[in-house]
Each structure stands twice: as C-alpha cells, then as structure tokens.
A and B are shown apart, each in its own frame.
Chain A
Amino acid sequence: MKKYSLIAAGMFLALAMPGFASANEEHGPALKHAEIDLTDQEQIRRGLTVFTDVCMGCHSAKYVTYKGLMDYPEIGITREQVDELRGSNPLTAGLITELTPEDAKVSYGKVPPDLSLIVNGRRGGASYVYSLMTGFEHDDSGKVPDGNFNEYFPGKRIAMPDPFSWLGHDEADTKQLEQDAADVAAFLAFISDPHQNERQAIGKWVVGFLILLTLVLWRLKVEVWKDVKH
C-alpha cells in the first residue's frame, strides 16, 4: 500500500511542480503582494468607489449589474447609493463605461478590456492588478514614453495611461495610492467570482460531513471484513 501512496504523492508533486516553474518563467519582476480581504466589506466598497471613479472612465465590468451591488452581501450598498451611481441606467444593466469602443480605439489604439474577470484571467490575479497600478515608472532606456512604461505589463509597454498618476506622485501620497490599488484589486477579485465566500462557507459543511461519512464507512468496512480470513 505504502508504495502506491508514494507513487500517488509523486504524481501530485509532479503536477504541482510545473506551477512553480511556470511562475518563474514569466518575464519581469516578481509581483508585489496585494493586501486584500474578500470578507472585508469596507475594502470592497472602497474598491467599488475607485472602480467607478477611476477605472470606469474607460473600462466596463459588464457581468456585474447595479442590482448586484445591492444584492451581494459583500458589497451591499443601499438603493439610494445605487440610484446615484446608475443615473438613468436600469438596475439590471452591467457596469458599462460611457467610453465607446470606437472612441477608445481612436484615443488609446485599442479597446480597454472588460474587467469582470480580470483577476481570474491574469497570472498573479489580484497581485498583478495591484502591481500594475503601482508599477508605472520612467523608462531609463528612453524607448517608452512616461505613462506607458510599466515593468509588470508583458512587453512593459502598456496602452493604459497611469490611472492613479503613480509616476512622480508625492511621497506623502504613497500610502493612499497603495491603499487605492489594493482596494480596487480586492473589488476586482470579488467580482471575478462573486460566490466565492458563499462557496467556502458551504464547503466547510460539505467537507466536514463527508469526513464523518467516510469515517463511518471505514469502520463499517473494517467490521464487515472481519469475516474474511487471510
């Protein structure tokens, strides 16, 4: 038996191994860790504000509806706050930017991606978003103009102009900007999979129950197999 468990363990290790390897394959510096807590309603709400004030100038999150902002307990803002945000949009509309794809193409050369799934859809997830927001630097080689150089972006040249004005910001503002970046990363991480907290809450019961059931089945197996003489 031991041998097989070793083989099984080996297989799982081998499965896990490439994960570390491919993380190292990525070019560019290691990501900065985003301090996020998806059970922290305050942080997600702050992130929502950053999203609607800054990101939504160009980006959408079409899978999140205004109604969802009230209904998800992790956000849970009031009807009045939602009404203020949505203006004349229906409650069931997604968070969609007023910048049309055509105008975006003219201004930035490409259409900004929808952010509903950005945390699931990028290696590094929330930390990638956080690093990107706080990663605008001056390109010493002078090839990329200021505001488009970001060493966390693949190729280091990003079409999105420094949304938080991170480059050349006042030293005194660093903490606030980092907080904003972490908050919006938390919001985006939440909307990438809005049932994740519920899932884990249910999961504790499910797995706990299955462990109990498995223990009972194990004892039953041992008991019934007493009949079998070796």
Chain B
Amino acid sequence: MTDQADQSRRNFLYIAAGGLGAVAAGAAAVPFIGSMFPAADTLAAAKTEFDVATVEEGQLVVIQWQGKPVFVSNRTPELLAQLDGHDDMLKDPNSEAIEEVSAEWMTAENRKYRSIKPEYFIAVASCTHLGCIPLYKPSAGRKEWGTAVPEDWPGGWHCPCHGSLYDLSARVINGSPAPHNLHLMPYKYTSDTKVVIG
C-alpha cells in the first residue's frame, strides 16, 4: 500500500474479481434452477393423441392429459338438443368469463357446444371449485338421479364434493359453488376422428 496508483489498482482488481465472481455464481445457478423445470420427456408427453371414434354414442370416457383427467363425451342429437332453453340458469352461457381456448373455432354458434365438432365434447375433468371429478348425469330431470339434481335438470355433470352442477357443455349452473365453466384445453383434429390434445 505504498502509493495512490497501487491503491487504485488494488481497488480495480477487487471490483473486477468481485464482479466476475458474481457473474460466475449467477451463471452457475442457471443449470441447477433450470434442472427443476419439466424435463424434455415430460414436455414431450404434454400432448395426448386420442381417437374419438372409440367413444360410443351417448357415452363418456375419461382420458389422461398431462397427468390430468379429461372428459370426452359423444353427444347424440337428443343430448345436443338438451343444450337449449336454459341459458337463464347459467352463470356464463357464452363462456366469456375466461378467455377461451381459441377464438378460431369458438364461433358465435358453437359457443353453445363449446367444441370443434358438436358431437364430441372435450374438457378438463376438474371441477373449477376445488378440483374434484364431476359425475356424468346426462339424462334430463330427476328420474334417474333423484334429488341430487334440481327438478329442471337439463342433463350434465354433478360434482359429488360440493354439489356444483354443469350442463352437457359443462357450463356451470347458477347456485353452484364452482365459479366457472369446466376449462377447455387446446386441441385439434389431425384426421376425421383423431384429436391431438395439448
């Protein structure tokens, strides 16, 4: 520590070493934090292929997508007819509360169906209340379901956990604890009946 020049050189070296060291430490954190994000094979499994022709008329299947359950229902013309006439019972008949999947296919007329092909309905099978899987109760009225559903039941899903109700397009019915319609996810048809979900 003899003179001014020495002192300033020393300060410069301190700052340079500290700065480079900080950069090194920051860069070293990147691979470690990066490693905790989903791995390539997990991401590759983010898409699910499914052949909707395997769902029989009027039936519902539950498939897996990204580890979550997904409903695929095949709606007959009768079931599709049950979608009309109860808009006043719905919290959000046109699915406007949440920006829906894709404006491309969510045209004015199929807001009612909430699907690309009206007969095949595909949605995430988790109740928007607390994530239970709702039960499928497609026929209208109380005949098959008893008092679990209201008298003017249009057919749809009933969540066993806290009683949320959805119609056959999984639009939530007034009075349910669930805040939103069942979520839709992006999907597209790669052939007549094959869909790629995700």
Contact = CB atoms under 8 A, between A and B. Distances in A.
A and B touch in the complex (CB under 8 A): yes
Interface of A: 65, 67, 71, 90-92, 206, 209-210, 212-213, 216-217, 219-220, 223-224, 226-227
B162 interface: no
B17 A223 contact: no
Interface of B: 1-2, 6, 9-10, 13-14, 16-17, 20-21, 23-24, 27, 40-41, 44-45, 49
Contact of B13 (A91, A92, A212, A219): A219
Given A71-B40, A90-B49, A92-B41, A213 B13 contact: no
A223 B14 CA distance: 10
B13 A216 contact: yes
Q: Top 3 closest A-B pairs, CB basis?
A: A220-B13, A213-B20, A92-B44
B44 A91 contact: yes
20 contacts: A65-B44, A71-B40, A90-B49, A91-B44, A92-B41, A92-B44, A92-B45, A206-B27, A209-B23, A209-B24, A212-B20, A216-B13, A216-B20, A219-B13, A220-B13, A220-B17, A223-B9, A223-B13, A224-B10, A226-B2
A67 B41 CA distance: 9
Contacts of A209: 20, 23-24, 27
Contacts of A206: 27
Chain B, interface SS category: helix
A223 B45 contact: no
A206 B13 CA distance: 21
A30 B41 CA distance: 40
A13 B20 CA distance: 33
Nearest to B7: A223
Contacts of B49: 90
A206 B27 CA distance: 9
A216 B17 contact: yes
Contacts of A217: 17
A90 B16 CA distance: 53
Interface majority SS (helix, strand, loop, mixed), chain A: helix
A71 B41 CA distance: 12
A187 B134 CA distance: 50
A67 B16 CA distance: 45
A226 B21 CA distance: 23
Contact of A216 (B2, B10, B16): B16
Contact of B21 (A213, A219, A224): A213
A57 to B, nearest CB: 26
A88 B195 CA distance: 15
Nearest to A224: B10
Contact of B24 (A67, A71, A213): A213
A224 B2 CA distance: 11
A223 B24 contact: no
Contacts of B41: 65, 92
Nearest to A65: B44
Nearest to B48: A90
A213 B10 contact: no
Contacts of A224: 10
A226 B2 CA distance: 9
B10 to A, nearest CB: 5
Contacts of B2: 226
B8 to A, nearest CB: 11
B6 A226 contact: yes
Contacts of B1: 226-227
